[in-house]
Chains A and B, each alone.
Chain A
């Protein structure tokens, strides 16, 4: 059971906008920044969003992040087939004194 809760699956059609959620508590998301990673099985994870909403260079602006209270979201607009991957949120947890990943959301592009 992950400290950060993500829906196990999500789906969308090409061109659609999807939003992936990440729910935590005051000891993690509520008091620390959230980062998001994209992971295609068999490859190394890729940093998508850091500090809640910042995009590293090279990440398309189709990807955006936000945070409100103890929850965070990753939005993907103009969904493309190559977006099919697992998406993970991560934040520091002050109670556990540890980084904690969400359980991940498997995104399927129909």
Chain B
């Protein structure tokens, strides 16, 4: 069965970096793009962007350029979200999600909580 398993929660200090992994299984990795969605505490869902699993080309939503980097390791069917120069405002749950088509996410990771605090 299709599974997306994300790495565990992390507590980071401001200015640090973090990398979240999204390990997939149960389907052909290159058949679907992988998207990332953020939910800050008390806030709604926010689309961050996606990465084309064939070309490795990332597309970022406004507000998620610069410090946010999407990448892949096709040898282990895993996608990554790296956030550099962390700020308190980056404290959120981050989800990866497989898409069937643009913004149609049929399988999701369980979420990774990133807490940024000094």
Contacts and interface: CB of A to CB of B under 8 A. Distances in A.
Partners in one complex: yes
Interface of A: 2, 35, 37, 39, 44-47, 50-51, 56, 86, 88, 90-92, 96-104
A9 to B, nearest CB: 13
B-side interface mostly: strand
Given A44-B108, A45-B95, A96-B62, A37 B100 contact: no
B44 A99 contact: no
Contacts of A56: 106
Interface string B23-46: 000000000000001000000111
B61 interface: yes
Interface of B: 37, 44-47, 61-62, 95, 97, 100-106, 108-111
Contacts of A88: 44-45
Contacts of A98: 47, 61-62
A45 B104 contact: no
